[in-house]
Amino acid sequence: MSRARSPSAGDSLLAQRPMLRFFLVFGLFTVVAFGIEVLPWVDSQVINPMLRGITEAAAISIRLFGGQAESVHNILSHPGSLFAIRVSNGCSGIEAVILLWAAMAAYPTHWRYKMIGFGVGLVAIMVVNLARIVSLFYIGQLAPHWFDWAHLYAWEVLILLDGVLIYFGWLRFMPPPHRAAP
């Protein structure tokens, strides 16, 4: 029969309580990352170019599949009609990426695994976000009465759910966390 190891004086509170450590790291990462995201320099040099890029990628995707779309900066429009959508802050998918990265950073595993997860997670969320923008472009034209619901509710949940599914998928490939010997 083995006995549970009692914490020694040298063990830190965070080493004794892995869930506490997880939530502290997750919270700190999230607060810092969202704080950085709202800095004017980050908005103008990172977020806005990202929005222009995703808008252009949406226009290219629509044209690749036979549709008509043009992009100018962060405006995606249908030539020949007055319909257009503006891809603005909050439409970049970066919020879901931040939450995913915070969870990955907080998980007790080697940084090599975290970096792989960061890259795969970023790409996966951006692909889903691209599908979101393309679908909203079509919903706005074909079923405008559903646009607000799809934009504000359905896709918000789906993007966050995507992040959760990516996280749990990533966890399946992680070695078990290190445990102190009894």
The proportion of the chain whose per-residue pLDDT surpasses 70, expressed as a percent, equals: 88
Asked, for residue 105, whether it belongs to a domain, the answer is yes
Global pTM reads: 0.84
Q: What is the pLDDT of residues 68-117, one digit of tens each?
A: 999 999 999 999 888 999 999 888 999 999 999 999 999 999 999 999 99
Give the residue ranges of DSSP H helices in the chain: 13-16, 18-37, 40-42, 48-64, 94-106, 111-142, 144-149, 155-172
The β-bridge relationship of strands 75-77 and 84-86 is antiparallel
Q: Which 8-state DSSP code applies to residue 113? A: H
The count of structural domains within the chain is 1
User: Do the domain assignments include residue 104?
Assistant: yes
Structure tokens at 16: 């004794």
- The residue behind tokens 């595993």 is 109
Judge whether 55 lies within some domain.
Answer: yes
CB atoms < 10 A from the CB of 55, how many? Answer: 27
Task: With respect to residue 73, please indicate whether it lies within any of the assigned structural domains.
Answer: yes
Q: Do residues 128 and 158 make contact, with C-beta atoms less than 8 angstroms apart?
A: yes
181 within some domain: no
Is residue 4 one of the residues assigned to a domain? no
- Averaged pLDDT of the chain: 90
Cβ proximity of 116 and 55 under 8 Å: no
Residue 62 neighbours by CB under 8 Å, 6+ apart = 68, 69, 134, 137
Query: 44 is in which domain, residue-wise?
Result: 18-172
- Greater model confidence, 121 or 181: 121
Whether 64 maps to a domain, the answer reads yes
Q: Does any domain span residue 33?
A: yes
